[in-house]
Amino acid sequence: MRTVAKPRAVQGLGSVVTETYTWTRDDGTIGTGKRYVARATIAGKRVKRTSQKSPTDAQRQLNEVRDRAARGVPPANGRLRAQHIFDQWLETKAAAERKPRTLKSYRELVELHLGPGLSHLPADRLQDDATIQAFLSERRAAHDERGRRLSARRIEMMRDALRGAINLAMKRQQLFPNPVGKQGTVEAPKVRRKVHVALSYVESQALLAAARGHRHEHLYVLLLAAGLRLGEALAVRMTNDDPAWSWADLEQGVLHVRQTLEPLSGPQAKARGIAERRWDIDDLKGERYRDVPRWRDVPLTDEAIATIRAQQRITREHRLRAGSAWHDHGFLFVDEIGEPFTQSSVNKAIKHVGRRARVERIHAHLLRRTTATYLHAKGVPLATIQAILGHATIGVTMGYIDATALDVMEQARAGMAAAFADVRQAPAG
């Protein structure tokens, strides 16, 4: 049964009616309730907003629709769910050909966090600051299956994903405004950035000594000597049959960096039609967003040239032993049957080597940061270091340089001592 009271005008736009309704409880008793329905015609469309709180709340919702119409934003679709906003955001990222690992990270944010916490809500609730703030606070207090709290960085990534999804919905005139945008009030915990301390000369020597005879020995040397990303080093070829390949010109002492080896999951490989392998060749980082390829040439030291020659001999020996089982992909750093090393296996192995060398904090990318620090310590200009590392901006390069590394501090101490010697020798005024 439903009874409707006489419509009454309230302050604002339109009118509100009170509806009384009944329902049958599980125990057979009859329950009654009230709801308040605000109706109006806005931009030629009949709009209705319902609230069980008060007539003022229903009118407030209707006034929000009026404000949207005044800004040229159409009335919100009450049937639109938050999950649809997340899905269309993921679709646009996939259409923009983001790298597989980036897409995987986005999907994990939606499937593990945004989806379970917000997908059941109407899309309009994504505009409510209190709802988003409560969600982020709840995620911050939650624990994973191992009993660990989510990091501040993970919360920041959720906020950034929400911002991107809502911004896309705003462009499509589905939502307005964005509570996690520049003008929003939602706050996320401050992220404590990790400090990557470059290896000292002694630590680098110990690491290379511990890696002697290891299957990745020459890869570690090249990473340290050329400052490559791990995917870029794994993409180096034995020959230069294609100008788009990465290869080393040992006569000129130059490594031509053109590609990167991108790891793929099973579904990602299947989607690309290469289900038989878990990797694919991709553009250099940031290259797909530029009109000109971000190819670069890296000078090779005598040690780097010697290590590439040694790895070439090892690869040829593997090919002879494997015979018909050899997979001829043409890469320099491969296993016994010609398959390229995976990034996960290299990072896992370098931690074992680091423990033998008593360097606990080691990972493959730290060698790249160490290269930048060494070049800076020897007086190489920042612009040159930026070109060698392939950074888009010099600010990123400066973030790679560890100005507090032990060897750099020793140089600073010597420089300050020399300065004070000049002070002491200065003639008295």
Shared-domain flag, residues 64 and 104: no
Q: Is residue 37 part of a domain?
A: yes
Shared-domain flag, residues 206 and 292: yes
Q: Is residue 338 part of a domain?
A: yes
Q: Is residue 185 part of a domain?
A: no
Q: The CATH number of the domain where 135 resides is what?
A: 1.10.150
Q: Is residue 416 part of a domain?
A: no
- Summarised one tens digit per residue, pLDDT across range 123-165 is 878 888 888 999 999 988 887 767 788 888 889 999 999 999 9
Shared-domain flag, residues 59 and 113: no
Whether omega for the bond prior to residue 177 falls within 30 degrees of 0, making it cis, is yes
Shared-domain flag, residues 392 and 253: yes
Shared-domain flag, residues 92 and 21: no
Residue 249 phi, psi (nearest 5): -90, 95
Q: Of 269, 396, 272, 285, whose CA–CA distance to 342 is shortest? A: 269
Tokens of 394: 């010099």
**Which residue intervals of 142-255 are DSSP H helices?**
152-171, 201-210, 217-226, 230-234
Q: Which of 49, 70, 91 is the last residue in one of the domains?
A: 70
- Summarised one tens digit per residue, pLDDT across range 46-73 is 777 778 788 888 888 778 777 767 766 6
Shared-domain flag, residues 349 and 289: yes
Domain count, the chain: 3
For the chain, the farthest-separated pair of C-alpha atoms sits apart, in whole angstroms, at 104
Q: Mark residue 286 as left, alpha or beta (left: phi above 0; alpha: psi -120 to 50; beta: remaining).
A: left
pTM beyond 0.75: no
How is residue 273 annotated by DSSP? Answer: T
Rounded to an integer, what distance in angstroms lies between the CA atom of residue 266 and that of residue 135? Answer: 32
Shared-domain flag, residues 359 and 226: yes
Q: Tell me how many degrees the CA angle 225-231-236 measures, rounded to the nearest 5.
A: 65
Shared-domain flag, residues 271 and 393: yes
Q: State the pLDDT at residue 22.
A: 79
Place of tokens 């000078």: 299
Q: What is the mean pLDDT of the chain?
A: 84
Q: Is residue 291 part of a domain?
A: yes
Tokens of 141: 């207090």
Rounded to an integer, what distance in angstroms lies between the CA atom of residue 76 and that of residue 177? Answer: 12
Rounded to an integer, what distance in angstroms lies between the CA atom of residue 282 and that of residue 182? Answer: 33
Q: Is residue 252 part of a domain?
A: yes
Q: State the pLDDT at residue 293.
A: 60
The whole domain housing 265 covers 201-409
What three-state secondary structure class fits 128? coil
**127-155 exposure pattern, b = at least 16 Cβ within 10 A, e = fewer:** beeebbbebbeebbeeeeeeeeebeeebb
Q: The CATH number of the domain where 342 resides is what?
A: 1.10.443.10
Q: Which of 70, 91, 114 is the last residue in one of the domains?
A: 70
The low-confidence residues of the chain, meaning pLDDT below 70, are 1-14, 43, 68, 71-78, 145, 176, 183, 193-195, 286-293, 403-411, 428-429
Q: Is residue 423 part of a domain?
A: no
Q: Is residue 54 part of a domain?
A: yes
Shared-domain flag, residues 161 and 262: no
Shared-domain flag, residues 65 and 93: no
Shared-domain flag, residues 17 and 100: no
Q: State the pLDDT at residue 408.
A: 59
Shared-domain flag, residues 86 and 43: no
